[in-house]
Structure 1
Amino acid sequence: MTLAAQTMAAPVQGAAATPLLSVRDLTVSVRDRGVLRPLVEGLSFDLAAGETLAIAGESGSGKSITSLALMGLLPNNVAVTAGQALLDGTDLPRLPEAEMRGLRGAKVAMIFQEPMTSLNPVHRIGTQLIEAIRAHEPVPQRAARAAAIEALRRVRISEPERRMGQYPHELSGGMRQRVMIAMALAMRPALLIADEPTTALDVTVQREVLELLRDLQAETGTAIILITHDMGVVAETADRVVVMKAGQVVESGPVAQIFDAPAQPYTRDLLAAVPRLGAGAERGALLPPEAPVPVARLIDAQVRFDIGANFFGRPTHRVHAVEGVSFDIRPGETFGLVGESGCGKSTIAKALAGLVPHRGLIEVAGKKLSELTAQGRKEICRDVQMVFQDPMAALDPRMTVGEAVAEPLLIHGVGNAEERRDRAADLFQRVGLTPEQMTRYPHEFSGGQRQRICVARALALKPKLIICDESVSALDVSVQARVLALLEELQQEMGVSYLFISHDMAVVENVVDRLAVMYLGQIVEMGTRDQVFGDPRHPYTQRLLDAVPIPDPARRGRAHVRPAGEMPSPIRALGDAPARLALRDVGGGHLVAAAA
């Protein structure tokens, strides 16, 4: 039997047996000014033990509200107003809080999207794990500690005994997410709800977390509800899929059926918006010509931070965030920087914007940043602007969006009040919004609209270079596609250059002209899009590409090489500088470092 046939057969087997979870006509409503307004309406599905059900859809579709309703964690003004959710015959929404507290963690557990906000920053990892175990089992402290260490070992965290004594901020994002998984699975729950568990993770860490969930599911028989907007993740992990839009089910069925023959236009649009590896080659390979003066140039750029303190208050260690990086960005070009968290991508962006001290040569529009006066650094901001990952955090909630877009003009003394308003109105139209929306505040817009506002603000001073630092990674795939199309349209219209920083290799391939792959502060491979994606030479580049989820259930069984141990740290003792990697040209300007 083929993999697709096995996938199609799974729901039939599950349906024949009594489902572990049966949701029938579930309606969740919010009370707004005395009126009930449904957020989720008429949701129904069954979930068998050992099965993975994906709930997919864009932000605002009701995915997370559904998970909170099942966990009994709805806000005070939101309640289940109709239907039922039976877990082994127990109607979860109707349970009193005291009884639900006994089930929560023991029989139904949840992994949240952002582990840093889910873990208590003032308590050690071990304390939080032991507390979770003892809350449901009256076991001695020593037994609970042993169970906690074993839970960490099961999620493949290195040196679990040492990790027990560490605080959340001492762990990487991937390790924190593993701690959350260990905490959720410590009591071997029958049902695990994973709400966007990999959205904020690097592609390689995402691969490890998804494989870990699969391994633990096979070992424990836990049923999983996976909530995500990443259709590649759905294809690689789910048995069945429920597609939601505006609180209602648009389509549901086996994963192979949803991907091979989607019945609804919304599902087809959702799948069409997913960036796919290989699609970038269809854009052609026209590169902007080399210019006498590039928009930006780095030669042997270094950014280091001293940390720690000995008895005399002197630093003991150094973070080698960027170590000898060299590249240039041409006018009208999109240059990509890719790599895992901590590799130095964002530090390079900050150095280019003059926000962190550096060594070596960094030029913007032919001007050396190290030689600029305070006034010169202010002026260089007209040439370099940034679009950040989280548009809500990047916009002042007390300012109207019109004021936010016009603010750079005010800071640099460009025009009078009327001219600034006219410029802002023109920018709103260019990014697909209307001048009438300028009087609204950030919270009145969707995530995609807020990111468009941030793009408009970045364009206000007519910069030569816009740095997009993970600017679409938090957006739904359809919104992401619209923002990327906008950036390309503005580039063709205005000739602006982009430094596009991302860990999503499929997105990068679809937008960049050239790119550099970074690892531990150094470049390991650099070349045109077709060179790096069509003929990756460095093992780390190959590993990044291999980890990209493919939105095709038929390719789920492909083998992956699991990395051994944790990623090395850029923190080294003073005087112990890392060895410099020498790049060699393997043809046509395709530069590759020798593998370690």
Structure 2
Amino acid sequence: MTSARETILDIANLCVSVRGEDGEREVVSGLSLRLSRGETLCIAGESGSGKSMTSLAIMQLLPQPAARISAGTIRLHDKGLGDTELTGLNERQMRRIRGNRIAMIFQEPMTSLNPVLSIGRQLTESIEAHTSLSPAEARRRAIDALKAVRISEAESRLKQFPHELSGGMRQRVMIAMALALEPDVLIADEPTTALDVTVQGEVLELLRDLQRERGTSVILITHDMGVVAEMADRVIIMRHGRMVEEGKAADIFARPQAAYTRELLAAVPRIGAGVGRQESRDTEAAASANVAEVKDLHVRFDLHGGFFGRVNRRVHAVEGVSFSIAPNETLALVGESGCGKSTTAKALAGLVPYSGDIVVGGRNLSGLGRDERKAVRRDVQMIFQDPFASLDPRMRVGDLVAEPLVIHGIASKEERRERVAALFERVGLTADQMELYPHEFSGGQRQRVCIARALALRPKLIIADESVSALDVSVQARVLDLLKELQREFGVAYLFISHDMAVVENISDRVAVMYLGQIVEMGTRDQVFTNPRHPYTKRLIEAVPVPDPARRRSRFARLEQEIPSATRKIGEAPMKLILQDFGNGHLVAAEA
């Protein structure tokens, strides 16, 4: 395929070395590749395989002085100017190329966006740096870029700061910044990991449009093999810094040659794999009272504006949500960013103010005092999306797992140590690792530490908020299997929050679909996935990328309008939805 098109980027024998306490070691070894104009090259592999280091080397953004390019060449081709050897450019010369000819979308938007500058300032700054547009024209282009990635109320968003946006919206801002200058080469490092499947589909369609209109070349780094199947012309599989397999996407998926490639493909969750599966449930536990009941839950946040800071608008984050969770059951809560999933979870865990009724273990949280609430919270624990951010880097992981026991005054010091050691063994770690710090673990291992900490108090309900979305597919599969095993062993119930419909379909017993703070459909896994009745549910399922290039869609479905906002003027209430039963507890929303 590369021979049929003009080569835009040529990497030969690239080696990247990192200096550590034990000396220098190679994290990318002898990598060679060619990227053609208008081509999408996907680089796949687990964390630590060298994918991101390769992209940072191309951008000349390797962390100095710890990392350096120890060998190889990176040539950017230009018809009029000839080849440009990037490894020989100084920082001033590279600034002219970054963003203009080669742009990059980073995985973690919060660390890539400046927290003290508004979204508008950061967007227009990059546009003005590489074009001769006036400030007003740069602002118009920034608004167009935000609209292109489906950010509602784009003009008003320019005044907001990164912390005021959800994770998915921050990622869309990063994508808008990269697309605004229409670069020749776009490097996308896990660009859709934090995005919902519907937004992911539209972002991928944006990348396709850019290729069709300008012949932009894309290097897509991802662990989502469904995205690889949808987007890739060619695929490179990396492991431990080396290329283990390269080929056309159709060949890689149909006839993988390397054992590691076959392992990656086998770990990919697929829609339909869980339908019809019957889990063995503890009948005595199933007949007992619900672990948690949520009735008519409302969570609203006031927005201040104007010269005197008056409350003039209100975010209706959660509006009249009701559901129950039985012992040993997994209820999945799904929907797009901003739909109220995480806010519902935080209310259930007592982390945000709310109105309505939350009953845990037969006790209503709204009628309890401080000490009683603390006791009830032992029954509800959370596993967060980012394990590194939720673990104190200054504490040993053994102390982190024991911390809930210390807070609640449970057991003696020696008994706590024995319980923590048993938990480490149970989640697939060793007792010796209790003395290590979070940075000494991989992402999957850190998430296992978080699971052990959540189990320390032997809760009745664990809230898993996007707990596997940032993990590689093989690690993700192992963590999901662990969660299932722990549920069978301890009888714990899960509120599983995710935007990955394939994962939800494989782990859930029941599914509740949220949209703009309200549940629009709820039922068993089979009811929701085999017979979705609400248009929004259908769109979520249809948007899931299929890990098979033979079933690649020519175009992703696009909305005719932007996602509505959950923000209302004071006194303006959102439209109320009534759930109707279509049989056997399959509830679907209709307007009141």
Give TM-score scaled by structure 1 length: 0.93
Once the two structures are TM-superposed, the CA of residue 501 in structure 1 deviates from its matched residue by 0.8
- Tell me, in whole angstroms, the C-alpha distance in 1 between the residues paired with 2:197 and 2:342: 17
Per the alignment, residue 207 of structure 1 pairs with: 201
The match for 2:581 among 576, 582, 585 is: 585
- Tell me, in whole angstroms, the C-alpha distance in 1 between the residues paired with 2:483 and 2:564: 35
Q: CA-to-partner distance for each residue in 1:537-577, whole Å, 9 max, x for gaps?
A: 00010011111111111111255431122212222122222
Per the alignment, residue 428 of structure 1 pairs with: 424
Per the alignment, residue 493 of structure 2 pairs with: 497
The match for 2:397 among 395, 401, 404 is: 401
- Tell me, in whole angstroms, the C-alpha distance in 2 between the residues paired with 1:459 and 1:161: 45
**What SS does structure 2 have at the residue aligned with 1:577?**
coil
Q: Does the C-alpha gap of structure 1 residues 558 and 314 become closer, same or farther in structure 2, counting only changes over 3 Å?
A: same
- Tell me, in whole angstroms, the C-alpha distance in 2 between the residues paired with 1:455 and 1:482: 13
Per the alignment, residue 388 of structure 2 pairs with: 392
Contact 2:41–2:218 (CA under 8 A) maintained in structure 1: yes
- Tell me, in whole angstroms, the C-alpha distance in 2 between the residues paired with 1:332 and 1:156: 38
Q: Which amino acid aligns with 1:118?
A: S
Per the alignment, residue 105 of structure 2 pairs with: 111
Per the alignment, residue 268 of structure 1 pairs with: 262
Superposed structure 1 runs of 4+ greater than 6 Å apart: none
Q: Does the C-alpha gap of structure 1 residues 163 and 348 become closer, same or farther in structure 2, counting only changes over 3 Å?
A: closer
Contact 2:17–2:28 (CA under 8 A) maintained in structure 1: yes
Q: Is 1:222 matched with 2:211?
A: no
Q: Is 1:49 matched with 2:45?
A: no
Per the alignment, residue 52 of structure 2 pairs with: 64
Question: 208-217 vs 287-296, which deviates more?
Answer: 287-296
Q: Which amino acid aligns with 1:180?
A: M
Once the two structures are TM-superposed, the CA of residue 407 in structure 1 deviates from its matched residue by 1.2
Give TM-score scaled by structure 2 length: 0.93
- Tell me, in whole angstroms, the C-alpha distance in 1 between the residues paired with 2:229 and 2:447: 28
Question: 399-408 vs 298-307, which deviates more?
Answer: 298-307
Per the alignment, residue 73 of structure 1 pairs with: 61
Residues 364-379 of structure 1 mapped to structure 2, 5 A cutoff:
364-379=360-375
- Tell me, in whole angstroms, the C-alpha distance in 2 between the residues paired with 1:210 and 1:342: 20
Once the two structures are TM-superposed, the CA of residue 526 in structure 1 deviates from its matched residue by 0.5
Q: Does the C-alpha gap of structure 1 residues 530 and 416 become closer, same or farther in structure 2, counting only changes over 3 Å?
A: same
Q: Does the C-alpha gap of structure 1 residues 38 and 595 become closer, same or farther in structure 2, counting only changes over 3 Å?
A: farther
Q: Does the C-alpha gap of structure 1 residues 424 and 166 become closer, same or farther in structure 2, counting only changes over 3 Å?
A: closer
Q: Does the C-alpha gap of structure 1 residues 406 and 280 become closer, same or farther in structure 2, counting only changes over 3 Å?
A: same
Q: Which amino acid aligns with 1:56?
A: A
Q: Is 1:551 matched with 2:547?
A: yes
- Tell me, in whole angstroms, the C-alpha distance in 1 between the residues paired with 2:127 and 2:466: 37
Q: Is 1:242 matched with 2:236?
A: yes
Question: 360-369 vs 169-178, which deviates more?
Answer: 169-178
Q: CA-to-partner distance for each residue in 1:336-387, whole Å, 9 max, x for gaps?
A: 1111111111122112112222222211010111111111111112211111
The match for 1:452 among 448, 467, 471 is: 448
The match for 2:538 among 526, 538, 542 is: 542
Per the alignment, residue 575 of structure 1 pairs with: 571
Once the two structures are TM-superposed, the CA of residue 176 in structure 1 deviates from its matched residue by 4.3
Q: Is 1:254 matched with 2:248?
A: yes
Q: Which amino acid aligns with 1:385?
A: Q
- Tell me, in whole angstroms, the C-alpha distance in 2 between the residues paired with 1:104 and 1:194: 13
**What SS does structure 2 have at the residue aligned with 1:461?**
coil
Per the alignment, residue 351 of structure 2 pairs with: 355
Q: Which amino acid aligns with 2:29?
A: E
- Tell me, in whole angstroms, the C-alpha distance in 1 between the residues paired with 2:319 and 2:151: 28
Q: CA-to-partner distance for each residue in 1:196-254, whole Å, 9 max, x for gaps?
A: 11111111111111111111111010111011111111110110000001111111100
Residues 1-12 of structure 1 mapped to structure 2, 5 A cutoff:
11=1
Q: Which amino acid aligns with 2:51?
A: K
Q: Does the C-alpha gap of structure 1 residues 364 and 229 become closer, same or farther in structure 2, counting only changes over 3 Å?
A: same
Contact 2:229–2:548 (CA under 8 A) maintained in structure 1: yes
Once the two structures are TM-superposed, the CA of residue 140 in structure 1 deviates from its matched residue by 4.7
**What SS does structure 2 have at the residue aligned with 1:343?**
coil
Q: Does the C-alpha gap of structure 1 residues 434 and 166 become closer, same or farther in structure 2, counting only changes over 3 Å?
A: closer
- Tell me, in whole angstroms, the C-alpha distance in 2 between the residues paired with 1:140 and 1:313: 32
Per the alignment, residue 7 of structure 1 pairs with: none
**What SS does structure 2 have at the residue aligned with 1:283?**
coil
The answer for unaligned runs of 5 or more in structure 1 is: 1-10
- Tell me, in whole angstroms, the C-alpha distance in 1 between the residues paired with 2:550 and 2:212: 20
Residues 11-22 of structure 1 mapped to structure 2, 5 A cutoff:
11=1, 14-22=2-10
Q: Does the C-alpha gap of structure 1 residues 433 and 137 become closer, same or farther in structure 2, counting only changes over 3 Å?
A: same
Q: CA-to-partner distance for each residue in 1:66-122, whole Å, 9 max, x for gaps?
A: 001001111112111111111112221222222222222222111112334333343
Contact 1:15–1:46 (CA under 8 A) maintained in structure 2: no
Q: Does the C-alpha gap of structure 1 residues 339 and 34 become closer, same or farther in structure 2, counting only changes over 3 Å?
A: closer
The answer for unaligned runs of 5 or more in structure 2 is: 78-82
Q: Is 1:337 matched with 2:326?
A: no
